Chains A and B, each alone.
Chain A
Amino acid sequence: MALNPACLSFIPQLSPFVDGELLPNDRVTVERHLAVCRDCTGRVADLRAESGLIRHGLDLAADEVDFKDFATKVMARLTPYKPPLWEQIQISLSEMFLYQRKMMMASMAGAAAVLAIAIPTLIIGKSIPDGYAREMMAVQSVTTEAGAKVTPVVMTSDKGDAIIWMVSTEQQVEPPAPAPPAAQDKSGEGQKLEQTKPKGGEL
């Protein structure tokens, strides 16, 4: 059978036409051609019959297979997907902002308020270093090791300054004898120790 030259451009489009894969304009063009071409109409009928046979054959083949536990078996072979932590956080935050926007905004505002109060408080508090709540330095006690031949002398000022001298008591304790009370565990404060002559400097 001689092929109509007009059919040459339409034959490749017949299968997509049967499968519904043509664009609307192409489909209209093919339908116009089919309306006047008996050969191509026959070809389309053959394609539809062939498609029906294939579908029927596949249905028969599928009926022979047992799909009873198919879904269960497939799911059992899948490894559960565990997203990385950063992805979990991103998803969580995006979902929280999407579905719990009001609560999130309230929480953020609360956190911002806490920081707005806490940071200035901390900055002000930190202007005085830790341990310096007291205004002036203060000597609480001065002691010497047992047997040490020195006695502490504390000279203080009203500005928190103090000199802690060690004055030899060797001449005072001769001959060797138990150290006088002044030389052992003696607090420097509240005593009139400034009268004792220090060992250094010009007085």
Chain B
Amino acid sequence: MTDRLGRRFHPYALAIALALPGIAWAEGNKVEVMADVVLASNNGNKVEPPALEEAKKFFEAKNVKYSSWQSLSQRRLSLEPKKTAEVPLPNGKKAQFTLESVANDVATVKVTVAPTTLTLQLGREGNLYVDGGQHQGGQVFVMISPALKPAGK
């Protein structure tokens, strides 16, 4: 009995079993990114949420002035290879996100807001503002930013 069971449950198998959860935890190929839909206009002076002041200043530095900035939606996208995630825009358009590849831990993402498609590499700093068309006299932007903090924090 000892020999039979001993062969079946060898101590090395136990060691491997203890290490397996860690190995499994280390795997995973999802990449997360924040996709906010923002409406910039000159109707009023409201900047909501205040974090959009940063966007307002960046645009002003490029000589593009909008007095009102409003966040219409905020989404944390979990992108998987070759699967498309969609973000609806208020003007009926939609922004499509596809994880093209992850090479050397650098994610390449394709973003399509018809008729435009851009390919970008995710980084820990910076925000990308993609023209989403016009809506209610303002300009819709898809703000793409890094999702560095774990979800819910």
Contact = CB atoms under 8 A, between A and B. Distances in A.
Interface of A: 88-89, 91-93, 95-96, 99-100, 103-104, 106-108, 110-111, 114-115, 118-119, 122, 125, 128-145, 148, 150, 152, 155, 157, 159-166, 188, 194, 198, 200-203
Contact of A111 (B14, B99, B127): B14
Contacts of A142: 116-119
Nearest to A131: B107
B64 to A, nearest CB: 4
A92 B12 CA distance: 13
Given A163-B59, A166-B116, 11 more contacts: A88-B8, A106-B11, A114-B19, A132-B148, A136-B124, A161-B129, A163-B129, A164-B116, A188-B118, A201-B139, A203-B64
A128 B32 CA distance: 11
Nearest to A141: B119
A136 B64 contact: no
The 7 closest A-B pairs by CB, nearest first: A160-B126, A131-B107, A137-B126, A148-B115, A133-B105, A131-B31, A145-B115
A132 B150 CA distance: 13
B66 interface: yes
Interface residues of B, number: 65
Contacts of B114: 145
Interface of B: 1-2, 5-6, 8-9, 11-12, 14-15, 18-19, 22, 25-26, 28-32, 40, 42, 58-59, 61-66, 99, 102, 104-108, 114-131, 133-134, 138-139, 141, 144-148
A160 B123 contact: yes
Contacts of B115: 144-145, 148, 150, 166
Contacts of A160: 123, 125-127
Given A118-B19, A122-B25, A140-B121, A161 B106 contact: no
B56 to A, nearest CB: 11
A203 B73 CA distance: 27
A133 B104 contact: yes
Contacts of B61: 157
A122 B127 CA distance: 27
10 contacts: A88-B5, A91-B5, A103-B11, A131-B99, A131-B106, A132-B148, A134-B121, A148-B116, A157-B61, A164-B129
Q: Which of B102, B107, B115, B119 has the most CB of A within 10 A?
A: B115
